[in-house]
Structure 1
Amino acid sequence: MVLKDINVRENISMDSGTRTSLTARRGCTLSVTSLALLGAFFACTLLAVSFIVYNFASCQQIQINHEHNKLEHNEQQNQTPHYLKDNHHINLPIQSVEENSIEEGFITTPKTLSVDKDVRLPRSIVPVTYNVSIIPFLVEGNFTFHGFVRILVNITEDCNNITLHATDLDIMSDKTTVKDLEGNVFPINNTRTVEDKQFFIIMTKNLLKKDMQLEIEMKFIGQISDNLQGFYRSSYENGSGEKRWIASTQFQPTDARRAFPCFDEPSLKARFTMNIAVPDGMIAISNMPRDIKGMNGAVENFPSYTWNSFEQSVPMSTYLVAFAVTDFRYLSTGNFSVFARPDAIGSASYALSIGPKILRFLEDFFQIPYPLPKMDMIALPDFNAGAMENWGLITYREATMLFEEGVSASPTKQKVASVVAHELVHQWFGNLVTPSWWSDIWLNEGFASYMEYLVVDEIARNWRTMDQFVVNELHGVLVFDALSSSHKISVQVGNPDEINEIFDRISYGKGATIIRMMDHFLTSKIFRLGLKNYLNEMKYKSAEQDDLWKYLTEVAVANNVLDKKNSVKEIMDTWTLQTGFPVVKVSIEQNLVTLEQERFVYSNTSKAILDLEDSNPLWWIPISFTTSEELNFNHTQPSQWVPRTSKHEFEDAKLGHSSWHIFNIQQTGYYRVNYELKNWKAITAYLTNINNFKKISPTNRAQLVDDAMNLARGGYLSYEIALNLSTYLQLEDDYVPWKAAITTFDFIDGMFVRQGDYHLLKNYLLRLLTYIYNSVGFKDSHYDMLTVVKREEILSMACKLGHEDCIRQSINYFENWKAVTMPDRENPISPNLRSIVYCSSIEAGSDKEWDFAYERYKNSKVSSEKETLLTALGCSKEPWVLARYLKYAISGKYIRKQDIFRVFAAVSSNAVGQQLAFDFVRSNWDEIKAYLGSTMNNMYTILSFPTKKMNTKYQLIELEDFIKQKFSETPRSIQQTIEQIKVNIDWMDSNYETIVNWLQKQTIYN
């Protein structure tokens, strides 16, 4: 039933009534007499509590038995775990009630059981529609909101409680009602909260019978927080210097429950009607267009407020609901609009120019029209993520949507295009079809992360974004996934902290790379056809990865890309349900080719952990290759498959007679390749010949550098072989191989930078850079995107290594800027050179240069310029300046909360600042934690920055002692941090002297 006629005369200010607070705890003092009376009362009450517990469990027990039987069957059949296959989920542990403790009338599991982390809702009740009304108090300055929600639900099995999500809300118990569609009220026994699970439970006196439809109504009060989650506040200064408050939402993954009580799981889709009250001079926007027939009059008791009502939505998940209350301006073309603060709206023009083009391209790509009547995009001054794909109202951090011509660097344009493409892809892949549970969030994020490159490549061919994918996404995630403490792509998660933790490089980067691999081994035609069928059949529903595999297999078999014996599921389960990735060793004896696979990990420490776990994963691996005679770097469809076996052999005369061979064309497969010594030497000889090396594609040149250096890092190849290959870079002038080289040498630089032999590495790298540095030059003379990006990378590396010309030019530019009359309006430095000039000058200067740049940061109104300055301010070599900077970051005065991570990352990447940042985190842990709010994932991120390049046992002991003090359990993110340091220590023991000896003997010949 659609509730269109919410009573506008109904006062939802909630100035009276009993509240159930989901956060407040109150104390009390009792006399001895009172305690005695309460003791007697408790004995009488215990029976009633037990009865409540029994009935609460009864709503779920049938489901538990069903899941238990299914789990046993799956284990017997060696099938995929039930949590990856079934929308239903166990809500209580599989054990008797007597094994549990009783607290406030609810079953709670003992602390020793990990089941406590399970926060899934029972499936006895599912939502159909929501009608939500919100009054936000922004101009009054108390930052609260009053709300009312009416939810139409279906009862799917007999029960006598309604369990849904709510947290950080004061719900008025005496205003909570349950009634049927005829208006008959179902009496409520009581309402309860289970804070650990963020549940709000309504206990009814009468049985709720299967197939009933009921309406639940609740009034509530919440805080418009500053924690950048749920319904939160933000501010900006207008042209007159006046502070203006706005409010917006960020609900993914589990924060819709902070704005209104709801069934806050992705598979529980419903239709939403939103009604937002706004003060005079402000507007509201939401997922759907304004509904002129809705609740659009004045708000009773609040004469300066007016209702803005919106059309009912299509079925969607709670995490995609969005609304914003602002005084922003907008630009439109057709049904596509962009919103920003008044003095920044001009910077939204570029996003508006590409947004409709991308939307049309995606409609053609998926062969499915965009399903909503409009698309809005809004740039927010404060936003924790980069952007969020809310259906029909995409929210962005300003720096990911705004491009200011003449101020923003050219790569910002590519960044904006990529993020807009990513979020628009989600309108189909994630919004139209949604993962049933967060375990498969990689389907959303991995797919959008791959498609953003495909889309931008379509609208800007000369940017070569598909080549950039290899060095930006693939190489980075291969490093992350080489830790034994990495995790599967599809991973079981329960509580919100665990869910937040998997929004990481594995879900995004690895998800993107294996989808790219699948695109290549199926071919793009089959891949697109399978996607179209999947989206059409599953639209407005939730899905799991097996659903996607099914539709892709059907078209692949029908078109003879796969035979009937194989399926996409059989292949892809080895990549999504196993941790890590393989290294393929290629050996050739005459015409016999032998391929051996094993999991790639970095150090003896990681290998020992794997041995301890008896872990020996094997993969289905698509094999493509070319030879010195063929030089075919375009055919990426596999000519061979390594089945799920440790060794695979086949015969090939071309490989047997070639001078050298390269496997994994365009590095489309998610694996590393190791060769016999003679093949590495032959490739190196070919690359170091100025007439030959460009015959190998740029992507595969990047692959060779990245594979060789990381194979050496992992102990699979000698550093002598890897470093010998790197000498060819003195000839290289392409961005993609150089980006791979810079990334791999950045690791070695981080290990060497505090050692006495650092000058050997620095001098070698400076010699390698000679040709490319002179080629790109310090002047911003070429404006094609790849040249600009290449110049930025090369100059940044050169200045970091102390290149004299680079430092001198940077200081000259910076001094010229300081000399102008109005530096906030006149900046003579090209936007494309600013990141290098700012950092180098602050590094070489004193606190005067730092203070000048900080003033420019405070005065700048352009988000991309502010980000550039924030990063550069971490380049200072003055310890007290860096310590002051970290204090500024958590003061909340000039540096926005969203930017604290950028500050800590910048200081930590500085050799002087790394230990300083770690000490600061330890000393100010509680203050930082209070400032950032309740999400522990923020703290894991903060801790990861200063620990990334630690490489001594003393540093490890310091960290482990600190973790013991602050964590009762060690989350995966912290385990990965600890393992990375152990890997670094092993690396120093095994490789430092070897590299020093090689560098001492090395001379580069022109």
Structure 2
Amino acid sequence: MCRHTNNSTDGASLVPSDREVLPNNVKPLHYDLTIEPIFENFTFTGEETVDFHVIERTDYITLNSLEIEIQEAKLNDVTVPYEFDVAKQTVTFKFDDHLVEGADAKLYLKFTGTLNENMCGFYRSSYKDNGVTKYLATTQMEATDCRKAFPCYDQPAAKAKFTINIVTQKELTALSNMDVRETTLLGDDKKVVSFNTTPIMSTYLVAFVVGELKYVENNDYRVPIKVYATADTENLGVYAGEIAAKTLKFFDKKFDIEYPLPKLDMVAIPDFAAGAMENYGLVTYRTVDLLIDTANTNAATQQRVTEVVMHELAHQWFGNLVTMEFWDGLWLNEGFATWMSWYAADALFPDWKVWESYVSDNLQQALSLDSLRASHPIEVPVKRVDQISQIFDAISYSKGCALLKMVSKWLGEEVFVSGVSLYLKRFKWGNTYTSDLWDALSEVSGKDVNTVMNIWTKNVGHPLVKVEEVDDKLVFTQNRFLTTGDVKPEEDQILYPVFLGIRTSEGIDETVVLSERSITIPKPANFVKINADHSGVYRTAYEPARWTQLGEAGAEGKLTVEDRVGLVSDASALVSSGLIEATALFNLVRTWTEESNYVVWESILAKIASVKSIFIFDDESIKEGIDAFVLDLIAPKLKEVGWEFSDKDSFSSQKLKSVFFASAVSSGHKEAVEFAANAFEAYIKGDKKAINPNLRASIFNYAAKVGDENTFEQLLDIYKTSESVEVRISALRALGRFNKPEILDKVVALLLQTDVIKQQDIYIPMQGLRAHKEGINKLWSWLTENWDPIYELIPPSNSMLGSIVIIATSSYTKQEQKEAVEKFFAEKDTKGYDQGLAKALDSVSAKIKSAKRDIAPISNWLSVNGYSK
């Protein structure tokens, strides 16, 4: 039941009057569901009894249902007719006698469905066991696919209890959200596993998994934690189990609410569209995001697994215990879980210093997407089902997280977490609007969080703060920022409350807030840096002299890591929009050759690479000149740290070495490419220790870049036969790095061979292809020539289709290329991926402008500084 504070009407006002939702004439209370997967023909059978409470007098009940066949329907033991509406994804049951307000009713259904291979609803996942293909049945209900598993009230606010029973072969493992109540044998070869009834929860969190699974158990927490996987891989779940135990303890304490279920299961699924899913008590993951061999993994993968586990477990409170009222509040779930994973990682792994990475990772993802005209508000009114999957993007996750980071800095982390705890306690087992969270934070902090945050969440975009120095004054002015640099007056109406966070030699002044178009303050006597530690969600533009001074301050150690990363990122964004020349970015970082932080170097090298990518279809001399600049830039530190690893290397040391090596190989460093070639040859000959896990991706990529058909077969064999998921993924991505036409033909031919490359992994070699112009062109040809089978394999209801469109189009840099994309999709039904296409075209438009604008000054800079041949 949804409970609101007095301000809940503020959230309710966002609800579109024409939103496609079910009637509210009845309310589901409890589902008693029995389901049986049949692997012989990939179908399933089901029976359910749904208990309803009647809200208003009615002669019908409508449920969501899609791709389900109903054999029998009874209301209160009387057979009733039913009618499907495929377009609306509903089934309506009609009856002669009206149900009266306040009464209860029981709807019994017997049905069948297909164990699909689209990674949604109740689906099948395949894997190899000693060369034999085997299957397991699993679920992915979020956002609106529970209706493919059983007819239901498939809306977040329609919370109910679920009693689930699974019929299967007796040798198979059956899992669901709750612990097992009893197991009953059915003859010689079958059993029914009955689970205890769940607490009240939303349909998108229902889950069940059936298959040949093994587990490792961790008992460091109050309730048992089991990590399940296919046979002989379960031991790779030990690390995730340990992280889960630490994380649950941490969240118990921070939220002051104990994890409410009697167990936690985490399952590695061989076919999985997302990274992981927070099903209550039964969290499912991509194999690569759960199972790792800590002795043979790289630092980045270990951190990724840690943060994914923490993200999903944060959802057990924020999303599962307290749930958004509808999908336009998705950011409440995802933004918070993202922030909480950073917060927990910082507390439990302080040596990782994750908030430094936050600025280069999370914040930049948010600002990059939000700087496109095709962006959307965090709270975006959702009307149709096809719109829901498209908001699972960097706005909901990363910008949502960034705003919460901003609020936590403003209020103080402990006050912020205290407000979150109050919010969770107040709405435990219920549904909320965003304003309910702001109310709780306002209550504990004494600040007007609602007024401030409504501006940030309900409007699209973010500001650029221009800093001008006039005599003894600083003038701050805000305008909307767009990568394309062509903001129209009607797009620049919103004035944000911007926390300026002014850093000087005396410390940080957090009191100045820019909530008007422009304000003026006295100029401090020493150096000035805006957005200290980059906790604010905006870009900053300085005058040329100030950029130079800040570059010097960064080289002298006067700026934090977050400041240095943010400075580089802001400069890069301003280059893209044409507000400063690309050479300003080069001049900013060229004095940072003694920089020792890997996060700063990752940012520097990534931003230089993004400039280089703008000219991917231009004269090779620019690419070669930028490569020469990069080699000159990294030379001192590369010589100091090298690329040899030892057991004594810290996390940051491993990361720094891998960053330098990757850049050196990419830019043609003689010794680095020789090492890569020799290491790959030794690896192929059987010495699996010849390649350190931190260098694996770089070495595989280089081997493909210079390789022939024999190299292709070697990498393909690694992908097919390696027992390590990490190794397989690195090899698969490297396949896209080949540039010989005949090999590229073989690469793209694999993309739709689901017996070779799993549907979930189709984007991985595509990422490699977009790294060079031959691959970009081949990728576009593949997309246009195979659109129909792609569309059939990955329908628009699957968010992966939008990702594929973005990957296949957004690397173009020429007007004629953009026009070809527009012409192709003008004849297509873009429903379900239209936002992804718009984002890609926005990105291409920005590159077209930047390429024309910057080619002359960059060529001249490279020549003047001795980097051109």
TM-score normalised according to structure 1 size = 0.82
Aligned AA for 1:209? V
| Equivalent position of 1:152 in the other structure | 51
Encode CA deviations 1:291-318: one digit per residue, 9 max, x unaligned.
Answer: 12xxx3244xx75221000000000000
Partner of residue 584 from structure 1, selected from 465, 476, 492: 465
- Matches of residues 570-581 of structure 1 in structure 2 within 5 Å? 570-581=451-462
SS at match of 1:972: helix
Partner of residue 519 from structure 2, selected from 633, 645, 648: 648
Aligned AA for 1:892? T
1-structure distance, mates of 2:707, 2:175: 47
1:624 matched to 2:501: yes
Tell me the CA shift for residue 899 of structure 1: 0.6
1:528 matched to 2:417: yes
Structure 1 unaligned spans of 5+: 1-73, 91-114, 180-184
1:926 matched to 2:788: yes
Compared with structure 1, are the counterparts of its residues 730 and 895 closer, same or farther at alpha carbon in structure 2 (3 Å cutoff)? same
SS at match of 1:728: coil
Tell me the CA shift for residue 933 of structure 1: 4.0
| Equivalent position of 2:3 in the other structure | none
- Matches of residues 596-635 of structure 1 in structure 2 within 5 Å? 596-604=477-485, 606-607=486-487, 610-611=488-489, 613-627=490-504, 629-630=505-506, 632=507
2-structure distance, mates of 1:412, 1:683: 33
| Equivalent position of 2:854 in the other structure | 991
- Matches of residues 379-390 of structure 1 in structure 2 within 5 Å? 379-390=268-279
Residues 187 and 205 in structure 1, CA contact (< 8 A), matched pair in contact too: no
Encode CA deviations 1:16-54: one digit per residue, 9 max, x unaligned.
Answer: xxxxxxxxxxxxxxxxxxxxxxxxxxxxxxxxxxxxxxx
2-structure distance, mates of 1:722, 1:852: 40
Residues 588 and 656 in structure 1, CA contact (< 8 A), matched pair in contact too: no
2-structure distance, mates of 1:1002, 1:261: 68
Aligned AA for 2:37? P
Tell me the CA shift for residue 186 of structure 1: 5.5
Tell me the CA shift for residue 806 of structure 1: 1.5
Aligned AA for 1:950? Y
| Equivalent position of 2:4 in the other structure | none
Residues 780 and 833 in structure 1, CA contact (< 8 A), matched pair in contact too: no
Aligned AA for 2:664? A
| Equivalent position of 1:743 in the other structure | 606
| Equivalent position of 1:290 in the other structure | 180
SS at match of 2:30: strand
Aligned AA for 2:283? I
2-structure distance, mates of 1:492, 1:960: 27
SS at match of 1:197: coil
**Stretch deviating more after TM superposition (276-285 or 589-598):** 589-598
1:795 matched to 2:694: no
**Stretch deviating more after TM superposition (954-963 or 873-882):** 873-882
Encode CA deviations 1:203-245: one digit per residue, 9 max, x unaligned.
Answer: 121222111110111010000111111111112222x333221
Aligned AA for 2:371? A
| Equivalent position of 2:112 in the other structure | 221
Compared with structure 1, are the counterparts of its residues 876 and 187 closer, same or farther at alpha carbon in structure 2 (3 Å cutoff)? closer
Residues 406 and 831 in structure 1, CA contact (< 8 A), matched pair in contact too: no
Residues 464 and 538 in structure 2, CA contact (< 8 A), matched pair in contact too: yes
| Equivalent position of 2:42 in the other structure | 143
Residues 918 and 943 in structure 1, CA contact (< 8 A), matched pair in contact too: no
SS at match of 2:180: coil
2-structure distance, mates of 1:241, 1:681: 61
2-structure distance, mates of 1:165, 1:305: 30
2-structure distance, mates of 1:721, 1:924: 42
1:786 matched to 2:786: no
Aligned AA for 1:324? V
Identity of aligned residues (%): 29
- Matches of residues 245-394 of structure 1 in structure 2 within 5 Å? 245-292=135-182, 296-299=183-186, 304-334=189-219, 335-394=224-283
| Equivalent position of 2:427 in the other structure | 538
Residues 475 and 740 in structure 1, CA contact (< 8 A), matched pair in contact too: no
1:972 matched to 2:859: no
| Equivalent position of 1:93 in the other structure | none
2-structure distance, mates of 1:127, 1:638: 49
Residues 709 and 723 in structure 1, CA contact (< 8 A), matched pair in contact too: no
Residues 268 and 291 in structure 2, CA contact (< 8 A), matched pair in contact too: yes
Tell me the CA shift for residue 83 of structure 1: 4.9
1:961 matched to 2:823: yes
TM-score normalised according to structure 2 size = 0.95
Partner of residue 901 from structure 1, selected from 743, 763, 767: 763
Aligned AA for 1:227? N
In angstroms, what is the RMSD of aligned CA positions?
A: 2.0
Aligned AA for 1:616? Q
Compared with structure 1, are the counterparts of its residues 393 and 646 closer, same or farther at alpha carbon in structure 2 (3 Å cutoff)? same
Partner of residue 625 from structure 2, selected from 747, 752, 760: 760
Encode CA deviations 1:126-161: one digit per residue, 9 max, x unaligned.
Answer: 1100100001112xx201100001110111112211
Tell me the CA shift for residue 614 of structure 1: 4.8
2-structure distance, mates of 1:187, 1:83: 40
- Matches of residues 907-918 of structure 1 in structure 2 within 5 Å? 907-918=769-780
Partner of residue 27 from structure 2, selected from 126, 129, 151: 126
Residues 372 and 839 in structure 2, CA contact (< 8 A), matched pair in contact too: yes
Partner of residue 132 from structure 2, selected from 242, 253, 265: 242
Tell me the CA shift for residue 763 of structure 1: 1.3
Aligned AA for 1:597? Q
- Matches of residues 70-85 of structure 1 in structure 2 within 5 Å? 82-84=12-14
1-structure distance, mates of 2:596, 2:234: 39
Residues 28 and 51 in structure 2, CA contact (< 8 A), matched pair in contact too: yes
Encode CA deviations 1:747-804: one digit per residue, 9 max, x unaligned.
Answer: 1111123321322222112211212322331222353222222222222222112222
Residues 408 and 865 in structure 1, CA contact (< 8 A), matched pair in contact too: no
1:806 matched to 2:703: no
1:442 matched to 2:308: no
Tell me the CA shift for residue 81 of structure 1: 7.1
2-structure distance, mates of 1:245, 1:902: 23
2-structure distance, mates of 1:797, 1:614: 39
Partner of residue 209 from structure 1, selected from 100, 107, 111: 100
| Structure having greater relative contact order (Cα 8 Å, sep ≥ 6) | 2
**Stretch deviating more after TM superposition (947-956 or 876-885):** 876-885
SS at match of 1:487: coil
SS at match of 1:154: strand
For the pair shown, which has the larger CA radius of gyration, 1 or 2? 1
Residues 283 and 312 in structure 2, CA contact (< 8 A), matched pair in contact too: yes
Aligned AA for 2:542? Y
SS at match of 1:661: coil
Aligned AA for 1:342? A
Aligned AA for 2:138? S
Residues 265 and 283 in structure 2, CA contact (< 8 A), matched pair in contact too: yes
Aligned AA for 2:152? C
Aligned AA for 2:476? L
SS at match of 2:405: helix
Task: Report the count of equivalent residues.
Answer: 853
Tell me the CA shift for residue 441 of structure 1: 0.4
1-structure distance, mates of 2:13, 2:773: 45
Partner of residue 90 from structure 2, selected from 182, 193, 199: 199
2-structure distance, mates of 1:403, 1:164: 41
2-structure distance, mates of 1:646, 1:319: 43
2-structure distance, mates of 1:321, 1:992: 54
- Matches of residues 448-463 of structure 1 in structure 2 within 5 Å? 448-463=337-352
Tell me the CA shift for residue 572 of structure 1: 0.7
